[in-house]
C-alpha cells in the first residue's frame, strides 16, 4: 500500500469512527488538528527554510483575537450598522486575522531576514513576549480576562458549535494544507525554498532571491498559525492571552522538532504526541509528586533532549523506516509526479558567436583594509575558449572570482558581463545574464537527489509561483525542468546516479553535479573554481573532455585551478596572478616560458614541472 492509500485509509477510518468516539477524544483530536496546522507552518520555516521562530503562538493569538474582537465589539457593530449579517462576522474576523498576521510577519521578516544568524529567533521571542502583554493590557480586548461570548461558526446553515461538528472542518483544512504544502515542496518553488539551507551564496547564484523567499515562508507560517487561531477561538468560544504566550510558542517548536522538522507529517505526529502526553502528564505528575504545577514542561525538556540526541531528524523518519516493509519503495524522485504531463519546451537562447568578449574585468582592484588582494587586474573571457587563471596560494584568485560573479564588489574598476557594467548588482543578476558557476568547496543539498540538485540550476528558466505549484498547475513546466536536469546529468556522465542523494557520491562526482547544475541554467559563461581539486586521474580526463566539448559548443569558460597539467593541456589562454597582480598572460606555451612565472610559481623548486606538463 502506498503512503497515499495509507493516508486515505486512516482518514476513512477516522471518519467512520467519528460518530462513536467519546466527547473527550473528539475534543483532543480537534486540538491536535489545530496544533498540527501551526506545526506544519514551522516545518516549512524550520525544517525546509532553516529559520527558527518562537513566536508562532503570538500569530495564533492574532488570528484568535481578530475574530473575537470582530464578532463581539459593540463599537464595530455600531460602525457596520447591520450592513453585515452576524453569520458573516467570523469570516470578516478571519480576513482581519490573516491580514494582520501577514502584515506583522512581513514587517518582522523585512527588518530581520536580511541579517544572518540569530536576529530572527531573537525577534520572534520579543514578538511572542510583547504580544502576550499587549493582549493582557488592552481594555478593548478584555485584558487578562479576555473576550467571551463568541458565536459558533455557521456554514450553509449548519452550526459548528460542537467539537464533533467543527472537528471534520479542522481536519479537512489541515489535510488540504498538507496537500498544498506537499505540492509546493515538490516543485520549482520548493527547490528554491530548500536552497535556502544550502546558503545564501549558492541559492543566489542559482537565481533565487533569498531575502524574498525567507520573508514569504515566514508569512506563510504566520498565516497558518492565524488560521489555527481563528478555529481555536470559535471552538473555545472565548479567548484570553494565556494560550498565546511564549511558553506555548516554544511548545509549537517542540512539536515540529519532535515530530520531525523536515517532514510535513512530522508536524501531525509531533502535535499528536505532545498533546496526548501533555493531557496525560497534567493528571499524572501532580498526583505522583503530590503537589500541583506545570511539571510536564520538565518532561518535555527531557524528551526534547532525548529526541535531539537519538533521533536528530525527529520521530517521523524513524516511524517511516519501521513501517517501510508495509509500503512499496517510493517512486524515483520527480518521476512519478511530473511524468504524465507532456513537457513544455524551455526557452533557449542561442550562444554568442565564438570570439566575442562575454565577461570582462577592467582594472579591478580589491582591498581588505591595508591588504591589496587584487591590484588592477584586467582580463576577459570569450565565447568558445577556456581561459585559465592560475597563481600560488593567496595570490587573489578566489577574491577575483568573487568579484566577477557578483559575490563581492570591487574597490575600484569595473566588471562587465554581456557588455553591461555589473557594479553593485547581486549574483542572481549575474545568473540572469547567463553566468553559471561552481564552488571551490562543493555546495550541494546533500540529502536531496542529484536530479533535484541539478534541477535547481534550471530555476531561472521556469516561472511557476507558489500558488500554481500548490494547485499542481505547474506540471508541464516541472516536467520540462526535470527533463533538462536529466539531460545535463547524462551529459556529465552521472546518469546512473540521478536518484541518489548527492552526499552519497564521491567528491569527483559531486563536482560533476555542480557543473551539471550550472549547465542546467543554460549559461553563456561558465566559471569553475578549482574543478579538478580532489579528482582522480580518470575523473580529470573526463572533466577535461567535457570542458573541451562545452568550449566547442561555444561556451566561454574561466577555470581557476591549481593543477598545472590539467590547465596547460586544456586552456587556450592563461593569466597568472601573484600577490594580486597579473604577472603574465598568453598561451600555455608563452606563459610556461615566462621567467617571472617560473620564478613566482615554482620558486625554489628545481624540477621543471611545467615542461613536464607541456609534454
Residues near ligand ADP, by CB under 6 A: 368, 371, 373, 391, 393-399
Nearest-approach distance from CB 91 to ligand ADP, in angstroms: 54
| Closest distance of CB 205 from ligand ADP, Å | 17
In angstroms, the CA 264 to CA 316 distance is 9
- Residue nearest Mg ion, CB atom distance: 398
Between 254 and 400, CB nearer to ligand ADP? 400
Q: Tell me the closest approach of the beta carbon of residue 200 to Mg ion, in angstroms.
A: 19
CB 150 within 8 A of CB 239: yes
Answer with the entry of Mg ion, ligand ADP, none that 399 interacts with (C-beta below 5 to 8 A by kind): ligand ADP
When the beta carbons of 516 and 577 are compared against Mg ion, the nearer one is 577
Task: State how far the Cα of 248 lies from the Cα of 246, in Å rounded to an integer.
Answer: 5
Nearer residue to Mg ion within complex by CB, 173 or 398: 398
* 192 Cβ neighbours under 8 A, 6+ residues apart: 203, 206, 208, 213, 456, 459
Q: Assign residue 240 a region: left if phi > 0, alpha if psi is -120 to 50, beta otherwise?
A: beta
We find the least distance from the C-beta atom of residue 439 to Mg ion, in angstroms, to be 11
Closest CA to 104 of 142, 73, 130, 133: 130
368 binds, among ligand ADP, Mg ion, none (CB under 5 to 8 A by kind): ligand ADP
Residue 229 interface partner, choices Mg ion, ligand ADP, none, CB cut-off 5-8 Å depending on type = none
- Minimal distance, residue 381 CB to ligand ADP, in Å: 18
Compute the least distance from the CB of residue 399 to ligand ADP, in Å. Answer: 3
Q: Which residue is associated with the grid cell 567528491?
A: 507
Neighbours of 285 (CB within 10 A): 17
Residue 9 touches which of ligand ADP, Mg ion, none (CB < 5 to 8 A by kind)? Answer: none
> Which of 402/449 has CB closer to Mg ion?
402
Q: What is the DSSP letter of 530?
A: S
Build a one-symbol-per-residue string for 398-437: x at contacts with Mg ion by CB under 5 A, - elsewhere. Answer: x---------------------------------------
Q: Taking the complex as a whole, how short is the minimal distance between the CB of residue 536 and ligand ADP, in angstroms?
A: 23
Q: SS3 of 393, please?
A: coil
Residues 6+ apart with CB under 8 A from 495: 486, 489
Total site size for Mg ion, rule CB under 5 A: 1
DSSP H/E element including 527? strand 525-529
Ranges assigned E (strand) in 173-291: 238-239
Q: Report the DSSP pairing between strands 556-560 and 385-390.
A: parallel
> How far apart are alpha carbons 502 and 506 in whole angstroms?
9
φ, ψ at 363 (rounded to 5°) = 50, 45
- Looking at the DSSP assignment, which residues form a beta bridge with residue 415? 361
Q: Please state whether beta strands 435-437 and 420-421 pair in parallel, antiparallel, or not at all (unpaired).
A: unpaired
The three three-digit cell numbers of residue 558, written as one number? 574561466
Residue 395: contacted member of Mg ion, ligand ADP, none (CB under 5 to 8 Å, by partner type) = ligand ADP
Of 63 and 396, CB closest to ligand ADP? 396
Q: How far is the CB of 202 from ligand ADP (least distance, A)?
A: 18
Q: Whose Cβ is closer to ligand ADP: residue 265's or residue 400's?
A: 400
Order of strands across the sheet with 412-417? Answer: 371-382, 357-368, 412-417, 420-421
Say what the alpha-carbon torsion angle 602, 603, 605, 611 is, to the nearest 10 degrees. 30
Compare residues 23 and 599 and give the one whose CB is closer to ligand ADP: 599
* Distance in Å, CB of 578 to ligand ADP, minimum: 9
Which residue, 307 or 591, is less far from ligand ADP as judged by CB?
Answer: 591
- By a kind-dependent CB cut-off of 5 to 8 A, residue 349 interacts, out of Mg ion, ligand ADP, none, with none
> What is the smallest separation between the CB atom of 405 and ligand ADP, expressed in angstroms?
13
Q: Are strands 147-148 and 238-239 parallel, antiparallel or unpaired?
A: antiparallel
What number of other Cβ atoms are within 10 A of residue 566's Cβ?
A: 22
Pick what 72 binds: Mg ion, ligand ADP, none; C-beta below 5 to 8 Å, kind-dependent: none
Nearest residue (CB) to ligand ADP, 164 versus 200: 200
Among Mg ion, ligand ADP, none, what binds residue 49 when CB lies within 5 to 8 Å by partner kind?
Answer: none
Residue nearer to Mg ion on the CB measure, 398 or 411: 398
**Cβ closest to ligand ADP, residue 184 vs residue 574:** 574
279's enclosing H/E stretch is: helix 264-289
The site partner of 41 among Mg ion, ligand ADP, none (C-beta below 5 to 8 Å per kind) is none
Across 179-320, the runs of DSSP E, i.e. the strands, are 238-239
In the window 380-399, what residues touch Mg ion (CB under 5 A)? 398
Q: Which is nearer to Mg ion, 251 or 561 (CB)?
A: 561
Smallest gap from residue 416 Cβ to ligand ADP (A) = 21
Cell numbers 582592484 correspond to 365
For the chain, the straight-line distance linking the first and the last C-alpha, in angstroms and rounded, comes to 62
Provide, rounded to whole angstroms, the least separation between the CB of residue 575 and ligand ADP.
Answer: 12
Closer Cβ to ligand ADP, 291 or 393, answer by number: 393
φ, ψ of residue 420 to 5 degrees: the values are -100, 140
Q: What whole-number distance in Å separates Cα of residue 443 and Cα of residue 78? A: 60
Q: Which does 225 bind (CB under 5 to 8 A by kind): Mg ion, ligand ADP, none?
A: none
27 lies in the site for Mg ion, by CB under 5 A: no
Q: Which is nearer to Mg ion, 120 or 390 (CB)?
A: 390
Helix axes 3-17, 163-185, angle to 10 degrees: 170
Rounded least distance, CB 225 to ligand ADP, Å: 39
| The C-alpha cell that represents 307 in the structure block | 529526541
Q: Which does 371 bind (CB under 5 to 8 A by kind): Mg ion, ligand ADP, none?
A: ligand ADP
Cβ-proximal residues to 498 (8 Å cutoff; 6+ apart), any chain:
332, 449, 450, 451, 486, 489
Q: Which listed option, ligand ADP, Mg ion, none, makes contact with residue 413 (CB within 5 to 8 Å by class)? A: none
Taking CB within 5 to 8 Å according to partner kind, which of Mg ion, ligand ADP, none is near residue 391? ligand ADP
Shortest reach from residue 568's CB to Mg ion, in Å = 19
- Strand residues in 297-407 grouped as ranges (E): 357-368, 371-382, 385-390
Binding site for Mg ion (CB under 5 A): 398
Amino acid at each position: 500500500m502506498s503512503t497515499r492509500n495509507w493516508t486515505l485509509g486512516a482518514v476513512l477510518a477516522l471518519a467512520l469512527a467519528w460518530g462513536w468516539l467519546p466527547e473527550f477524544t473528539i475534543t483532543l483530536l480537534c486540538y491536535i488538528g489545530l496544533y498540527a496546522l501551526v506545526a506544519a507552518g514551522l516545518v516549512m520555516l524550520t525544517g525546509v527554510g532553516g529559520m527558527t521562530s518562537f513566536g508562532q503562538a503570538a500569530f495564533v493569538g492574532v488570528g484568535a483575537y481578530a475574530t473575537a474582537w470582530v464578532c463581539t465589539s459593540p463599537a464595530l457593530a455600531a460602525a457596520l450598522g447591520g450592513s453585515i449579517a452576524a453569520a458573516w462576522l467570523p469570516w470578516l474576523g478571519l480576513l482581519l486575522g490573516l491580514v494582520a498576521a501577514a502584515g506583522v510577519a512581513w514587517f518582522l521578516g523585512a527588518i530581520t531576514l536580511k541579517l544572518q544568524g540569530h536576529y530572527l529567533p531573537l525577534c520572534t521571542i520579543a514578538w511572542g513576549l510583547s504580544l502576550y502583554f499587549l493582549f493582557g493590557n488592552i481594555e478593548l480586548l478584555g485584558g487578562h480576562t479576555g473576550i467571551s461570548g463568541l458565536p459558533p461558526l455557521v456554514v450553509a446553515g449548519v452550526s459548528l458549535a460542537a467539537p464533533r461538528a467543527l472537528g471534520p472542518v479542522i481536519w479537512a483544512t489541515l489535510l488540504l494544507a498538507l496537500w498544498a504544502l506537499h505540492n509546493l515542496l515538490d516543485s520549482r518553488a520548493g527547490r528554491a525554498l530548500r536552497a535556502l539551507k544550502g546558503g545564501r551564496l549558492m541559492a543566489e547564484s542559482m537565481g533565487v532571491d533569498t531575502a524574498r523567499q525567507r520573508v514569504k515562508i515566514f508569512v506563510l507560517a504566520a498565516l497558518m498559525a492565524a488560521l489555527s487561531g481563528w478555529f481555536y477561538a470559535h471552538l473555545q468560544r472565548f479567548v484570553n492571552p494565556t494560550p498565546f504566550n511564549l511558553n506555548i510558542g516554544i511548545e509549537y517548536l517542540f512539536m515540529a522538532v519532535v515530530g520531525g522538522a523536515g517532514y510535513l507529517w512530522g508536524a501531525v505526529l509531533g502535535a499528536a504526541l505532545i498533546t496526548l502526553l501533555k493531557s496525560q502528564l497534567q493528571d499524572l505528575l501532580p498526583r505522583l509528586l503530590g503537589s500541583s504545577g506545570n511539571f510536564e514542561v520538565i518532561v518535555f525538556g527531557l524528551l526534547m533532549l532525548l529526541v535531539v540526541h537519538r533521533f536528530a531528524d525527529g520521530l517521523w523518519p524513524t516511524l517511516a523506516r519501521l513501517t517501510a516493509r508495509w509500503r512499496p519503495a517510493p517512486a524515483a524522485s520527480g518521476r512519478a509526479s511530473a511524468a504524465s504531463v507532456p513537457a513544455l519546451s524551455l526557452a533557449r537562447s542561442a550562444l554568442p558567436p565564438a570570439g566575442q568578449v562575454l565577461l570582462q574585468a577592467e582594472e579591478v582592484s580589491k582591498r581588505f583594509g591595508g591588504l591589496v588582494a587584487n591590484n588592477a587586474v584586467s582580463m576577459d573571457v570569450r565565447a568558445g575558449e577556456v581561459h585559465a587563471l592560475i597563481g600560488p596560494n593567496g595570490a587573489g584568485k578566489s577574491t577575483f572570482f568573487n568579484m566577477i560573479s557578483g559575490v563581492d564588489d570591487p574597490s575600484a574598476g569595473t566588471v562587465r558581463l554581456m557588455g553591461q557594467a555589473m557594479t553593485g548588482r547581486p549574483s542572481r543578476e549575474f545568473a540572469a545574464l547567463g553566468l553559471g558557476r561552481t564552488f571551490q568547496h562543493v555546495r550541494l543539498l546533500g540529502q536531496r537527489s542529484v536530479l533535484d540538485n541539478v534541477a535547481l540550476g534550471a530555476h531561472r528558466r521556469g516561472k511557476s509561483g507558489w500558488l500554481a505549484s500548490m494547485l499542481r498547475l505547474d506540471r508541464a513546466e516541472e516536467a520540462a525542468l526535470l527533463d533538462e536536469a536529466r539531460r545535463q546529468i547524462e551529459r556529465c556522465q552521472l546518469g546512473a546516479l540521478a536518484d541518489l542523494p548527492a552526499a552519497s557520491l564521491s567528491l569527483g562526482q559531486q563536482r560533476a553535479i555542480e557543473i551539471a547544475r550550472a549547465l542546467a541554467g543554460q549559461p553563456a559563461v561558465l566559471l569553475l573554481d578549482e574543478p579538478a581539486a580532489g579528482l582522480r586521474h580518470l575523473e580529470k580526463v573526463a572533466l577535461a573532455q567535457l570542458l573541451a566539448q562545452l568550449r566547442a559548443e561555444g561556451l566561454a569558460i574561466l577555470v581557476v585551478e591549481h593543477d598545472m597539467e590539467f590547465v596547460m593541456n586544456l586552456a587556450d589562454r592563461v593569466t597568472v596572478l601573484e600577490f594580486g597582480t597579473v604577472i603574465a598572460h598568453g598561451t600555455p606555451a608563452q606563459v610556461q616560458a615566462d621567467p617571472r612565472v617560473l620564478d613566482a610559481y615554482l620558486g625554489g623548486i628545481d624540477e621543471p614541472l611545467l615542461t613536464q606538463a607541456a609534454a
